[in-house]
A and B are shown apart, each in its own frame.
Chain A
Amino acid sequence: MLKVRIIPCLDVKNGRIVKGVNFVDLVDAGDPVEAAKAYDAGGADELCFLDITASHEKRPILLDVVKRTAEQCFMPLTVGGGVSSIEDIQNLLSSGADKVSINTSAVKNPTLIREASEVFGSQCIVVAIDAKKTGDMSWEIFTHGGRESTGISAVDFSKKMADLGAGEILLTSMDRDGTRSGYDIDLLKAVESSIPIPVIASGGVGSIKDLISGAREGRASAVLAASIFHFGECTIKQAKEEMAKAGISVRI
């Protein structure tokens, strides 16, 4: 049986891990290379590395840090931040990424997703969506690390990305990110039920209970979190044990 993946996320700025509260007021939480090593030993199912200001600062991602982080990973590594061309993707894959996450450019240039999935295969193309609630059951997507609004519906955009060949959607609730109040379950359900590809839940985890509800109620294929793992509030092992107790299939 396929297991629900638990993914610690390294939000990286200037080569250091930071964790934002609603994407501003960043707090330094350490060295990505050391963190990758610890999470690999700790049994994380996958690791996500996001260079959160690359798009905003209009610069390429820090390949050297990616390389050193990948060296420590014997699990899949997803890398994102400022990816805007086939060449960017090739560089990241050559630096040790297994999958590449694309956010801003997926909105500005959707054909990149089709082209990339044809060249590299759907399985390594992750579209990262930052969504904000705009109505009772509607969400709008934002780009540039949550800085620019687009007027595009998150559900419609997810469908379009799946059609173009994305292999996975990394779905972040901007309303919940950094608040520790749990995933936006309605958003997860709305996106998950309308696309045939896996959804990674992101944004808002404050406790292991939130991981459980993301998998169970939100039907996410994977649950992503940052602070609760980075600040040592719980280990990957503890999270998995509690999830298993709650009847969720995890890799122990």
Chain B
Amino acid sequence: MKNLSVAVVDYDCGNLHSASKALELAMKETNLNGSVFLTKDPNKIKNADKVILPGVGAFKACMGKLKSFDGLQESIEEFALKKGNPLLGICIGLHLMATRSFEGGEHPGLSFIEGDVVPILSNAENIKIPHMGWNEILLKQEHDVLKGLNKKDFYFVHSYRFKPKNNESTIATTEYGDIFPSALCSGNILGTQFHPEKSQQTGIKLLKNFLEWCP
């Protein structure tokens, strides 16, 4: 069997080691052989089998970082749009894939999944922002990556959320203040608002599904 190469995009935004560490554990728990590596090398990203765009931070700062490395954004575009290989965006990684974000002004995104990044509704009574902690996801569609994960708790930490243009891209929702999309998918491109790499066994299960996913 071919060795699976899994690239975690290293663009200096927050805790990227936890994503690669969790993917390594997930890899061990599958029957797949392969390697997980943190990289900002455009060639390695283009030629990987799977790419993860993680990240923690504010939209503007993270997009600025991503653009600050020569060829990095283009390599992700080539990987996901031209080659159609499986890309997973986590939290701010998902937000970066939107058309626009309204976090701290209006900023253009990568436009991989059509939609905007908007604030979590905070007018509901007793709603604390950020939405921080463990909350459950409700599957809206069957999806290989969410197999066996309906109604499971994942770790969330965010003040903004994805508002897709097409509801068909929502594959799971979560309730906090209102009901918002917590996992989205457009073909080979997948994003989660929650952090699978911080969600213990439930998160490892999702990452295993992602490693085995053939869109």
Contacts and interface: CB of A to CB of B under 8 A. Distances in A.
B133 A123 contact: no
B73 interface: no
Contacts of A5: 133-134
Nearest to B122: A196
Contacts of B22: 74
Given A3-B153, A75-B200, A196-B122, A119 B128 contact: no
Contacts of B21: 71, 74
Contacts of A3: 133-135, 153
Contacts of B133: 2-5, 45-46, 198, 221-222
A167 B131 CA distance: 10
A98 B18 contact: yes
Interface string A80-95: 0000000000000110
B129 A96 contact: no
B136 A121 contact: no
B149 interface: no
A124 B14 contact: yes
B57 A167 contact: no
Of B14, B25, B195, B197, most A-chain CB atoms within 10 Å: B14
Of A1, A76, A93, A94, most B-chain CB atoms within 10 Å: A76
B198 A74 contact: yes
A221 B128 contact: yes
A12 B141 CA distance: 46
Contacts of B56: 93, 98, 120-121, 123-124
Contact of B135 (A1, A118, A124, A197): A1
Given A3-B133, A198-B130, A40 B200 contact: yes
B175 A74 contact: no
B45 interface: no
A105 interface: no
- Interface size range on A against B: 35 or more
Contact of B131 (A2, A71, A118): A2
B159 interface: yes
A122 B135 contact: no
Interface of B: 14-15, 17-18, 21-22, 25, 56-58, 61, 92, 104, 122, 126, 128-136, 153, 155-159, 175-176, 195, 197-201, 203-204
Given A75-B155, A76-B157, A120 B57 contact: yes
Given A45-B133, A93-B14, A98-B15, A196 B58 contact: no
7 contacts: A1-B175, A74-B200, A75-B200, A76-B195, A121-B56, A123-B157, A124-B157
Nearest to B55: A121
A70 interface: yes
Can you list the 9 inter-chain pairs with the closest CB atoms, starting with the nearest? A123-B157, A121-B57, A251-B134, A3-B134, A198-B128, A251-B153, A121-B58, A123-B130, A74-B200
A71 B18 CA distance: 8
Given A98-B15, A120-B58, A197 B130 contact: yes
Contacts of B128: 196-198, 221
